[in-house]
Chain A
Amino acid sequence: MLDLINVNYDTLIPNNVGLSSDRRVLKALEKWHPGYINWWHDMGPNGFQESLAYLRTAVSVDSKGWAKFDYVKMPEYRWGVLLAPAVEDRRIPCGEHFGDLAWQEVPGEYRAMLRRLIVIQGDTEPASVEQQRFLGKTAPSLYDMRNLFQVNVEEGRHLWAMVYLLQKYFGKDGREESDELLRRQSGSEEAPRMLGAFNEETPDWLSFFMFTYFTDRDGKMQLEALAQSGFDPLSRTTRFMLTEEAHHMFVGETGVGRIVQRTCEAMTEAGIEDPYDIEAVRALGVIDLPTVQKKLNLHYSLSLDLFGSEISTNAANAFTAGIKGRFQETKIEDDHKLVGATYPVLKLIDGEAKLIDEPALSAINMRLRDDYTNDAAGGVNRWNKIIQKAGVAFELALPHVAFHRQIGEFLNAEATPDGRILNAEEWNAQKGQWLPNTADGDFIASLMQPQWEAGKYANWISPPKVGIDNKPGEFEYVKIYDA
């Protein structure tokens, strides 16, 4: 057990921010830490706190130190505070301060705006741990269980990363916000998490993979935008978080890919050619491709909502202030101020989705969302390659951005996945074809039987092509402790 009274914080928290010589912040983190550990015990992976998971821990940011693999009990994971190395002479890459030296301290006039951005980002990190806390019990393999726990501990580390910024740069407000991050809970009535998608349930492993593919990818894009911040500590923090975020993308992409692969294999073995013969495919104990498409529709549309309104003054202000840039801001060739520039925004005009040129500054969210869609489309293509290779006539596709939206231009637009706008009656009659219904959920739930034997996989998912840390197939990724 972790000794909470005599913890040596300097060795406990791997860091490259000189914590040992920063008494004030070290003390603040010491004060916050027991609450975090309590939160982890209460809201972290349920039933596995004593198990040994083969996890990677970042102990420094260079290539040698950032992926140390070993067995660890999750509550004893070394959550560190790690910032990507400072770039010498880094300049503010966008907005009205474009070209000035990046800020090492919070500029007074943007203090509230910055704090809000950090808190929103920070709030998503523990939220997903909470959403995923019961999944360990139904893990389709020890490999997948380990990947889940890796995602969980790194989301925990990302919370630390944001809390460090709050404690270091925002004084009393920062301390209070840090405590609030542990108080709010996903799905709670009285104190829910700040963003909608983070209050949804993650009831099964297909949802988990879709979540890590689509929703964590929103996280990736937000981190990419914050990595362009003129506030250098935020930029450096998020840049390092992105290296970890890549693992989460990996879990989602290969998770869905392995499900698709297994379904295609089972269909081929059984001689089923029609992917829409759902009953026959389900009888094989695998998830039919139309249901995979429905789950995709759901998670993609929920994730699009996370980008906020297409036209947003807040987003324009953050860009102009230089505290949040665009995806790969420094690689874009323009004035980085967007003076007089326009950007095509998809809008609902007379019952139709149309591209309208809007001032590029107000359309910052739209642009990031477009970059997100491009990024998300790549993996969908690779899933289709698996289906194609297996010779099954089916293609997965991202639904139209108007489909199933709760925020922005297409709020309640009743659009089909290919973008046709229906009336409410038509929509209600057909939505079961596009979104998972109770029967779909029950079927998937029926497959969620744990497979905890090392090297074995549940029937509905293929084994991975390569093990984690190059480990062989039968490697025991989690040594389960039976309480």
Chain B
Amino acid sequence: MTSPTKQHLIDPEICIRCNTCEETCPQDAVTHNDDNYVVIADKCNYCMDCISPCPTGAIDNWRVVTEPYAIESQFEWDELPQQESFGTNGDQGSSAVVEAFDDEIIQLLEEAHQGVGGHSVAPRSASKPSVNLFNRSKPAIARVQGNFRLTQEGTETDVRHIILDIGDQAFPVVEGQSVGIIPPGLDANGKPAKARLYSIACPRDGEKPNANNIALTVKREPNGRCSNYVCDLAKGDEVELTGPYGATFLMPDDPTANIIMICTGTGSAPFRGFTMRRQRTAPQAEGHLVLYFGARTPEELPYFGPLKRIPKSVMTQRLVFSRIKDQPKRHVQDQMRQDADWLSSYIASERTYIYVCGLKGMEEGVDAALAEICESAGLDWPSQRALMRREGRLHLETY
């Protein structure tokens, strides 16, 4: 069976036939007849150059298909066809968002988002993400631009900042999305090695503005096949990338939004992306950023140095350490409880978004702390949590 792919389509009911997309497309993938403007499926490389120039939004339509619609049938359309249903999302029904199409990846994401307690919902103002542009059979080839150790030499934790150059391929990402990396070779059972997901740790326009690259934050796991492969990559090495994945754990595109980010270890990756995005696009934003970041010691906290350079007016930082000699163990939830007074007013605000990213183990403690903080302010956390989830203002990604 052919695996489903994503097809770019133009909504004939919204399109005004202005020819802008056809003029813009560097691949000549857009054409028209007297009735409709259409996209030629096998020419479109998802570069997205046509999206922002479209005055109507008609251009920003996608269907998951096993067999792409030919232009001849697109010419005939008065309206877009419905999305045909695929069994991959299980019993989640039509309300679930497509975060990926590969079963393997869908499963990984479902597990990661479980803690939110229901369907994850993207923030309403979030940019529309592209998903699954590259898969196992057609991966993007990236080249390693840099591999830097983020934790101090001599500590147990080896966390790496990996920069991947995408070259001239179109691999559009937004902050909060992940990419898949497939380590080369076969596993112990003689099957192709399992893919691993890594959050993108930089803003959509790249590690440096308008460089077509992405950054990842990867921790070396003792027996992790993929993490060891990635952490050992040298400058110039080629890596097979799939994705991008994820359509809910995204930041609101709204300068008035407050963003509370709670993480441990490499869970900081998406938040580095969020923070850099906010600093690049809305440095004077009305909304505030709050970061709770837990690690064993300052030496083992990724991005410790750069974090110190972010002004207090942009972000309130709470760095919490659990293994400092002669000091009691402290976790992010302990610090949150201490901040209950002002944190509760953020939680009550409908402009606030909460994100939790890190190890599964942190979920429970953070949830309990949020419940306590709410209670102290006369808020009912279970109903607040449900509301925030429905409104796309509560997000968990844990592993």
Contacts and interface: CB of A to CB of B under 8 A. Distances in A.
A411 B19 CA distance: 33
Nearest to B53: A243
Nearest to A473: B124
Interface in A234-261: 242-243, 246-247, 249-250, 253-254
Given A250-B55, A254-B56, A465-B14, A472 B210 contact: no
B314 to A, nearest CB: 18
Contacts of A67: 52-53
Contacts of A254: 14, 16, 56
Contact of B16 (A246, A465, A466, A472): A246
B20 interface: yes
Nearest to A84: B23
A63 B55 contact: no
B125 interface: yes
Contacts of A470: 57, 60, 127-128
B119 interface: no
Nearest to A246: B18
Chain B contact patch, size range: 20 to 34
A253 B55 CA distance: 11
A63 B60 contact: no
A471 interface: yes
Contacts of A63: 24, 48-53
Contact of A246 (B20, B48, B78, B205): B20
B13 interface: yes
B24 A466 contact: no
B170 to A, nearest CB: 11
A82 B210 CA distance: 19
Contacts of A66: 52-53
Contacts of B48: 63
Interface string B222-238: 00000000000000000
A247 B20 CA distance: 10
A378 B32 CA distance: 13
A465 B13 CA distance: 9
A472 B128 CA distance: 12
A249 B16 contact: yes
Interface string A88-121: 0000000000000000000000000000000000
A379 interface: yes
Nearest to B13: A465
A64 interface: yes
Nearest to A147: B55
Contacts of A378: 17, 34
Interface string A440-483: 00000000000000000000000001111011100100000000
A378 B60 CA distance: 21
A385 interface: yes
A385 B78 contact: yes
Contacts of B14: 254, 465-466
Interface string B1-32: 00000000000011011111001100000000
Given A63-B24, A470-B60, A472-B125, A246 B55 contact: yes
Contacts of B56: 250, 254, 466
Interface in A140-166: none
Contacts of A249: 16, 18, 55
A170 to B, nearest CB: 29
- What's the dominant secondary structure at chain A's contact region? helix
Interface string A51-73: 00000000000011011001000
B124 A472 contact: yes
A323 to B, nearest CB: 22
Nearest to A247: B55
A250 B17 contact: no
Given A470-B128, A472-B124, A472-B125, A379 B16 contact: yes
A223 to B, nearest CB: 12
A188 B60 CA distance: 43
Contacts of A468: 57
A378 B49 CA distance: 25
A298 to B, nearest CB: 21
A21 to B, nearest CB: 22
A222 to B, nearest CB: 15
Interface string B174-193: 00000000000000000000
Contacts of A379: 16-17
A254 B124 CA distance: 23
Contacts of A471: 125
B80 to A, nearest CB: 11
Nearest to B210: A64
A243 B58 CA distance: 15
A102 to B, nearest CB: 19
Contacts of B125: 471-472, 475
Nearest to A245: B18
A126 B58 CA distance: 29
A250 B24 contact: no
Contacts of A385: 78
A465 B11 CA distance: 11
A472 B124 CA distance: 6
A84 to B, nearest CB: 10
Interface in B37-94: 48-53, 55-58, 60, 78
Given A64-B210, A470-B60, A250 B50 contact: no
B50 A243 contact: no
Contacts of A246: 16, 18-20, 53, 55
A251 to B, nearest CB: 8
A388 to B, nearest CB: 10
Contact of B18 (A64, A70, A250, A465): A250
Contacts of B34: 378
Interface string B277-296: 00000100000000000000
A468 B125 CA distance: 11
A333 to B, nearest CB: 18
Nearest to A466: B57
A245 B167 CA distance: 33
Interface of B: 13-14, 16-20, 23-24, 34, 48-53, 55-58, 60, 78, 124-125, 127-128, 205, 210, 282
11 contacts: A63-B24, A64-B52, A70-B282, A242-B23, A246-B20, A246-B55, A249-B16, A249-B18, A465-B14, A466-B56, A472-B125
Which 10 pairs of residues, A with B, have the shortest CB-CB distance?
A246-B18, A466-B57, A63-B49, A250-B55, A247-B55, A67-B52, A472-B124, A246-B55, A246-B20, A253-B16
